[in-house]
Structure 1
């Protein structure tokens, strides 16, 4: 019996496809390891959300949601690190550390509780010695100004609503690993 786990699918590979647009970062790169500053304090990180910027989204976009999900977490359902909803359409970037608390400086935007139980960004913290985990940062271009959710919504419920309101999605997938 092998103890090697199968690699879970990227969550956006199993949802109905939507067009993409461009997501860039001064802090993280697709397929590359994230710096410790973006890791959770439990593994010696600073728990800072990375800088993100996006462009090329559809003209009919009315708002955005920003999420970060680890499909490799050993939970059977992945792990939500960040869910920021109701980002105004005129906001096309978030500075490093923008995920640092329940309140934001981003209009009517608010954080939904992540899987750490915080209304904020929660950094990477995979089990020590596990293979590198993928952190799927996504910006969802929405057909509504505000999703019909409250700060008490679960990330899964936000994801359900995103399925019906996402016009396009931009994704960047850095990795993180804690060595034994």
Structure 2
């Protein structure tokens, strides 16, 4: 993947390097289970759509945990609002590792902090050609094998015993 120093992502609710905002957490942790607002700029030439992912590489699964995989976001879009609805018709959203379509927030086990990587991926196609009811691995494969560039912000969250 070519370097894209100008491609950037930000969030007012959950800035890079911050703790995940309370509203992004699942209800069992006192949250509202809302996806954070995300804004991006500087996508490379040739971008025809975007995808958004949220991944916890620290989950004790051996393969991390996918909280959100969304794609077919039009190239004219440069932000997503706080709390993207699970049935938002402007993008496709796979079932996450909780088994729900759309975003579900952090719910780590007690112990060490977990990192939550929110990424925007610039894609050279208008559509990945992956159906929303496909397993998220199909969308992720299409995203990661085609992306022109990606931008990531990382937030953390920890449940203390």
Conserved? CA contact 1:50–1:95, under 8 Å: yes
Matched, 1:115 2:101: no
Conserved? CA contact 1:18–1:166, under 8 Å: no
Partner of 1:56: 42
TM-score, structure 2 length as denominator? Answer: 0.94
The residue correspondences of 1:23-62 to structure 2 (distance < 5 A) are 23-62=9-48
Classify the secondary structure of the residue corresponding to 2:16: coil
The residue correspondences of 1:157-168 to structure 2 (distance < 5 A) are 157-168=138-149
Which runs of 5 or more residues in structure 2 are unaligned? none
Matched, 1:75 2:61: yes
How far apart are 1:19 and its partner, in Å? Answer: 2.5
The residue correspondences of 1:3-14 to structure 2 (distance < 5 A) are none
Classify the secondary structure of the residue corresponding to 2:14: coil
How far apart are 1:105 and its partner, in Å? Answer: 4.8
After superposition, the C-alpha distances for 1:137-157 in whole angstroms (9 at most, x for unaligned) are 000000000102111222222
The count of corresponding residues between Structure 1 and Structure 2 is 159
The residue correspondences of 1:75-154 to structure 2 (distance < 5 A) are 75-98=61-84, 100-101=85-86, 103-106=87-90, 109-128=91-110, 130-154=111-135
Structure number with larger C-alpha Rg:
1
Moved over 2 A (4+): 17-20
The CA distance in 2 between the partners of 1:19 and 1:121, in whole Å, is 28
The CA distance in 2 between the partners of 1:105 and 1:28, in whole Å, is 24
Partner of 1:10: none
